[in-house]
Amino acid sequence: MNILLKNRIQSGISNFLFNAEPGETKIPEKEKLELEKYGRLIKVARKQMIYQEGEPPKGVYFLKKGKVKISQLNYDGAVQILFIYCAGELFGHRSILGNDRQPVTATALEDCELIFVEKEYFINVLKSSPDLSEALLQSMSHEFTTLVNRINVFAQRGIKERLALFLLILNETFKIPGQLAEESEITLNRNDLAAYTGTSVENLVRTLKMFRENGYVRVNGKTIYIENFEALFTISGL
Amino acid sequence: MNILLKNRIQSGISNFLFNAEPGETKIPEKEKLELEKYGRLIKVARKQMIYQEGEPPKGVYFLKKGKVKISQLNYDGAVQILFIYCAGELFGHRSILGNDRQPVTATALEDCELIFVEKEYFINVLKSSPDLSEALLQSMSHEFTTLVNRINVFAQRGIKERLALFLLILNETFKIPGQLAEESEITLNRNDLAAYTGTSVENLVRTLKMFRENGYVRVNGKTIYIENFEALFTISGL
DNA sequence: CGCCGTATTGAGCGCTCTCAACGAGGGTGG
DNA sequence: CCACCCTCGTTGAGAGCGCTCAATACGGCG
């Protein structure tokens, strides 16, 4: 892929990504090690729930292996997928810091390994470390920006545009660390992809088909490969 | 209004409000005074811009008087209003903390008085105050939850539902401090209300008309009064 | 081979958008 | 004071997008 195009895409979608690199946590190494030391390893099978909307949060999670989807249930039963975390990322800390109940449900997309750190211990480490506070403030501020951008997208753009954008985002999420962006295999079933894009499965399938027929993507079963980044970038309206 | 209903509504929309009380900042009093002491008073006329999307942030703002809308421009020229800040609130700090450019534009909805605090000074105070860090972490975590909820709303719900919800939210925003919630006068022109709800002006007008005809709201020029909280609450799907 | 969950396709309806016209009100200049 | 203009709000009509329902295909697994 053209390096200029790559940069344009990168800088466009960076406003929608929590981290510049997938799996990056901005937590200082020292505190990360300290937290993980007192955490315990949990293995979670594909499709298994990690925590559920409405629960009081029990602790924070470092995802070591696998992918986790964060979703929210609508009053009419529809599911909205909000993020997909990949190995290396920390999650579950925000509801603890904000004294909220879990606003969302976390479910393993693949077989996962997590390190679970008790709420109380996390708070202790946080209180004793200005570096950790600062790092969290910084990452949450950036996350705030990405969420605001996303609200705009959902409020204003059609499904074609949203799918194009989310495919580019997923391309980062499913990037194999160290490899080039264009090597990603987006593996997500239609239901989840629809729930992520915020549409019905049927509509998603139709839009995806159109992308396929135009040569923007290639599909092999559940796996989607992006073939024409520029087209998707243009459609997404970034 | 029925006190039980009021509590149900309150707890429902609290997941969409930055603060439990409009105009509340969770910043410790000591740091707030310190920041304001070194800030300078700025007067901004109605419709005047305070800062613009894409700019590097210059500092933080305490809103002392008036209301400020935070909006974002879409690639096709459409405007999305994301928040409306009222007197007492702090804004502009997140892009500083996250090292981002301003992701949004801030515009005075009414004649405003603000205290502007230089970026460097804000960072200094923050570095020297764990209390301030903690307060910001807490409030930003809660804000994260509210944004996630909002994404769900925009992704999944129709305009009728969104307008009902946003009217309930605006009812809090336009609440006169100390008075009961049901006394609010929502004063916002149709364009802004449409941009806030994420729809076209025409559609907004039609939906509002329907609410009026059903007796859910009363309209006097630009001012909207909620007449039937329960109906809006039910429609919003909270 | 049959079953079940997932993916795809089609048809029809309803919601939302756009375009266009008209009305109301406020401000300005003659 | 009136005529005009400009902005804002309202209404109507028509097109198109996206949703729902229903039927059909596909693929893995017992």
C-alpha to C-alpha distances, A236 to A146, A177, A187, A188, B67, nearest whole angstrom: 15, 25, 20, 20, 33
What secondary structure, in 3-state letters, does chain A show?
CCHHHHHHHHHHHHHHCCCCCCCCCCCCHHHHHHHHHCCEEEEECCCCEEECCCCCCCEEEEEEECEEEEEEECCCCCEEEEEEEECCCEECHHHHHCCCCCCCEEEECCCEEEEEEEHHHHHHHHHHCHHHHHHHHHHHHHHHHHHHHHHHHHHHCCHHHHHHHHHHHHHHHCCCCCCCHHHCCEECCHHHHHHHHCCCHHHHHHHHHHHHHCCCEEEECCEEEECCHHHHHHHHCC
In strand D, the nucleotides that come within 7 Å of a protein beta carbon are 8-13, 17-22, 28
How many helices and strands, by DSSP H and E, does chain B display? Answer: 9, 11
CA of B79 to C1' of C26 (A): 26
Angle formed by the axes of helices A130-156 and A159-173, nearest 10°:
150
Q: How far apart are CA A160 and CA A170, in angstroms?
A: 15
Token reading at B42: 């700025």
Nucleotides of strand C under 7 angstroms from a protein beta carbon: 6-11, 15-20
Provide the pairing of β-strand B217-220 with B223-226: antiparallel
pLDDT of B179 over the 70 cut = no
Give the residues across from B144 on adjacent strands.
none
β-partners of residue B186 are: B224
CA pair distance A78, A80, nearest whole angstrom? 7
Quick one: pLDDT at residue A2? 82
Question: Is 90 exceeded by the pLDDT of residue B158?
Answer: yes
Which tens digit of pLDDT belongs to each residue from B54-82?
A: 999 999 999 999 999 999 999 888 999 99
Q: Tell me the shortest Cα–Cα distance from B134 to chain A, in angstroms.
A: 8
Residue A184, pLDDT score = 87
pLDDT higher than threshold 90 for residue B238: no
Amino acid letter, residue A117: V
Strand C contact set, beta carbon < 7 A: A 189-191, 201-202, 205-206, 208-209, 219, 222; B 158-160, 198-200, 202-203
Taking the CA atoms of B36, B42, B46 and B50 in sequence, report the sign of the dihedral they define. Answer: negative
pLDDT tens per residue across span B194-230: 999 999 999 999 999 999 999 999 999 889 999 999 9
What average pLDDT score do residues B110-134 get?
95
Per-run averaged pLDDT (10 residues), chain A, 238 residues? 87 91 82 94 94 96 95 93 95 94 95 96 95 95 96 97 97 79 84 97 96 95 93 94
Distances from the Cα of B98 to the Cα of A15, A183, A217, B215, angstroms? 12, 29, 34, 45
CA distance B135 to chain A (A): 9
The per-residue pLDDT for B221 is 86
The pLDDT of residue B195: 97
DSSP B103: -
Q: Count the Cβ atoms, other than its own, within 10 Å of residue A218.
A: 13
Residues within 8 A of B (CB atoms), A 115-174 only: 127, 130, 133-134, 136-145, 147-152, 154-157
Residue whose tokens read 């894009």: A197
CA–CA dist B157, B212 (Å, integer): 21
DSSP class of A45:
-
- Residue type for position A223: T
Q: State the pLDDT confidence band at B25, using cuts at 50, 70 and 90.
A: confident
Instruction: Determine the pLDDT at residue A221.
Output: 87
Contacts of A104 in chain B (CB under 8 A): 148
Strands B90-91, B79-86: pairing is unpaired
Tell me what the mean pLDDT of segment B1-18 comes to. Answer: 90
What is the C-alpha to C-alpha distance for residues B7 and A124, in angstroms, rounded to an integer?
Answer: 34
**Residue position matching structure tokens 């994301």:** B82
Residue B58's SS3 state is: coil
d(CA A126, CA A31): 9
φ, ψ for residue A184, nearest 5 deg? -65, 150
Residue pair A108/A42 in contact (Cβ under 8 Å)? The answer is: no
Structure tokens at A183: 């090597």
Taking CA–CA distances from B16, the nearest residue in chain A reads A103
